[in-house]
Structure 1
Amino acid sequence: MTYPRIVGIAGSFRRPSKTRSLVEAIGAEVGRATPIDFVVHDLVEIGQGLGAAFSRTQLTPDAARVLRDIETADALIVGTPVFKGSYTGLFKHLFDLVDPDALRDVPVLLTATGGGLRHALVVEHHLRPLFGFFEAFTIPTAVYASESNFIDGTLVDSAVRARASAAAAQLASVLGQRAVQAPSATPVRLAAAR
């Protein structure tokens, strides 16, 4: 049996990463609700191969693989650290290289991390419009976590964890609905009208 393939993108430049921790925590929540195939990529893995590329043809093999994973995913969980009120430039550059039609109707769960609450609206003012361009299906609940919501890189704030669980449940529900609506292997025959 093939499970929905969820690709997590953590737009972080370092490890350990709170952004990656948040993306992984939400992916784990989705996995508790429904069977999935989940992989996470972060920019620290592909930064140089991505940043030096002006086009898809100039990507390193690792960066090209991440781009292919994004474009062929059944769903995405994306996260970015917030710098000066927005996502990082390299995060945006990655999505600038995504085919404009590749994410149409793909469920995308939006997350971000930042130093404080004043960055919380980045998910609504920057991430949601970005994925609106792609005509992706953004999950209604987005998750923002600030520095104080983590201890030793682990999300511990109960309110943020509850929001992450709610968002994960919404994504799992969408994946479940799509699995039910997927065409069956056996064609359905309609009875002839009498």
Structure 2
Amino acid sequence: MKLLGISGTIIGAKTSIVVQNVLEEVKKHHPNVEVELLDLRDYDVQFCDGRNPSNYTGDTKKVLDIVKAADFYIIGTPIFQGSLSGPLKNLFDLINPKDIRNKVIGFVATGGTYQHYLVIENQLKPIAGFFRSFVAPGYVYVNNDHFNEENEIIDSEVLTRITALAKEVVFMQEALKSSEEKFVTVNG
């Protein structure tokens, strides 16, 4: 099983740090799960212009191929102006819905106010619904106050939620994989 963590921003480090923390927790508790971090800061992704996703080239094609190859996801975004980041929205616009249909997604977000966690409920979960993905019921929201000066997460409750989300997405993915295997065996 391959878990892809997506840091959906091209500036700052906090979102990537939180996504990486979840991936590390998965690796610690489930060493058999392959994890990879896709940090949008490392790619020059083109703006979605309405063409078929298979017609993109360069970094855009590479990113779309990485997304397609994963079995499940941890997707993170900073919250800007009460919404998800533009680069993550652009990535969602580029993804062929078939590529993440029926796959598990866990969400993390970072922001400057304590109320911005609502973006996960009001914007990210409905986007996952459009893709017909399975959304982990838990999520992690990290406020700027939860980091120290070295951008390390210092809040014990946040660290507990990170561990819980890591366990939750693996549990959901294993259950989904098991049910798919039973379906194939029964229906041949």
Query: Per the alignment, in what secondary structure is the counterpart of residue 141 of structure 1?
Result: strand
- Computing the radius of gyration from Cα coordinates, the structure with the larger value is 1
Aligned-partner SS, 1:145? strand
Matches of residues 101-140 of structure 1 in structure 2 within 5 Å? 101-140=98-137
Q: Which residue of 1 aligns with 2:95?
A: 98
Match of 2:38 in 1: 41
Unpaired stretches in structure 1, ≥5 consecutive residues: 189-194
Q: Distance in 2 between matches of 1:148 and 1:109?
A: 22
Gaps of 5+ in 2: none
Taking structure 1 as the reference length, what is the TM-score of the superposition? 0.85
In the TM superposition, residue 60 of structure 1 has moved relative to its aligned partner by 4.1
Shift of 1:59: 3.7
The aligned counterpart of 1:171 is 169
> Within the alignment, does 1:67 sit opposite 2:64 as a pair?
yes
Matched, 1:77 2:74: yes
Q: Verify the 8 A CA contact 2:22 2:162 in the aligned structure 1.
A: yes
TM superposition shift of 1:183: 3.2
Query: Is the deviation greater in 171-180 or in 120-129?
Result: 171-180
Offset, 1:66: 1.2
Q: Which residue of 2 aligns with 1:154?
A: 152
Q: Report sequence identity in percent.
A: 31
| Match in the other structure for 2:181 | 183
Structure number having the greater helix percentage:
2
Q: Provide the alpha-carbon RMSD of the alignment.
A: 1.9
How far did 1:6 drift? Answer: 0.8
Divergent runs of 4+, >4 A: none
2:108–2:141 Cα contact (<8 Å) kept: yes
8 Å Cα contact 2:10-2:87 kept in structure 1: no
- What letter is aligned with 1:161? L
Q: Deviations over 1:144-168 (max 9, x none)?
A: 1011111212211111111111111
Deviates more, 1:173-182 or 1:25-34: 173-182
- Alpha carbons 1:79, 1:112 under 8 Å: kept: yes
1:141 maps to 2:138 = yes
Q: For this pair of structures, how many residues does the alignment match? A: 180
Q: 1:110 offset after TM fit, Å? A: 0.6
Aligned-partner residue type, residue 24 of structure 1 = Q
Q: TM-score normalized by structure 2?
A: 0.87
1:8 aligned partner: 5
